[in-house]
Amino acid sequence: MRLSLPSLPHLAYPAPSTTTPHLPKPTFVGVSRTNLSFLKMDSYSHPRVSFVSCPSSVTNNGSTSLGSAGRIGEVKRVTKETNVSVKINLDGTGIADSTTGIPFLDHMLDQLASHGLFDVHVRATGDLHIDDHHTNEDVALAIGTALLQALGDRKGIHRFGDFSAPLDEALIHVSLDLSGRPHLSFDLQLPTQRVGTYDTQLVEHFFQSLVNTSGMTLHIRQLAGRNTHHIIEATFKAFARALRQATEYDMRRQGSIPSSKGVLSRT
């Protein structure tokens, strides 16, 4: 038997449109030529394009934006005993460029740059024919002053930093507050009086000098360690990481000063 199917109605398809459908224009938020921004797509029926700024400095109106130079402090300190120049960029990449005439101190400043991701440039000459004391002290005083300058009014930063760094058998804990109030609590047990030619008593004096000019509260604790070199190097590494935490921006803070008083200043 032969079956016949009913004829189907003719289906007409519209011709392809030659016009471009109207879409809303993208909205750009907070973009300037000096801002580094990341693209964020919002999941609406039509994508909304906005730019979230990655802050590196604080503008006059309290908002944050990325300046091409970053937060930089530059200090020159000249006395009858030493001639010291320091430049530090808190928003750097870890460039270490330090020549103090004290090899072990240069090595420690390299740790500050590398683990803090700061660009640290130090040039120093001093009365090393006497000992390392004056040069060690004045380098630290200049670094503290450069930090103070680079931090400015401290808007938008985390303010607090806390880090424990191991180096083989040594373990050092550092906690700090960029409070504007200088204080050092130092608890290291260093088994030897020297590392190479460096007098290990100068480690505490270095941090005391840096604290005095930067307006920083700094606590250093030794949790373990027998090797003097390891203990000191772990201290500088932990300090670098804690300082990096404290100086980085808190995006939720939106440029406000991290203090209930509304001000953080060196007093």
**Tokens describing residue 199:** 């007098």
> Cα 200 to the chain's mean position, in Å?
27
Taking only the tens place, the pLDDT of each residue in 187-217 is 999 999 999 999 999 999 999 999 999 999 9
Give the three-class secondary structure for 256.
Answer: coil
Taking only the tens place, the pLDDT of each residue in 134-163 is 999 999 999 999 999 999 888 889 999 999
Across the chain, mean pLDDT equals 81
Residue 247 has pLDDT above 80, yes or no: yes
Could you tell me which residue, 81 or 26, shows the higher pLDDT? 81
Model confidence, pTM: 0.74
**pLDDT grade for 256, boundaries at 50, 70 and 90:** low
Residue 44 has pLDDT above 90, yes or no: no
Percent residues over pLDDT 90 in the chain: 64
Using DSSP bridges, classify how beta strands 72-78 and 64-65 pair: parallel, antiparallel or unpaired. unpaired
Give the three-class secondary structure for 9.
Answer: coil
**pLDDT grade for 55, boundaries at 50, 70 and 90:** very low
**Rounded distance between C-alpha atoms, residue 188 and residue 96, angstroms:** 26
- Which has the closest alpha carbon to 131: 209, 202, 207, 222? 202
Residue 8 has pLDDT above 60, yes or no: no
**pLDDT grade for 12, boundaries at 50, 70 and 90:** low
Give the three-class secondary structure for 207.
Answer: helix
N residues, the chain = 267
**Contact criterion met (CB below 8 Å) for 218 and 182:** no
- Which has the closest alpha carbon to 103: 73, 65, 132, 66? 132
Q: What's the pLDDT at 254?
A: 75
Q: What's the pLDDT at 1?
A: 52
**Rounded distance between C-alpha atoms, residue 254 and residue 52, angstroms:** 12
**Tokens describing residue 136:** 């060690």
Give the three-class secondary structure for 146.
Answer: helix
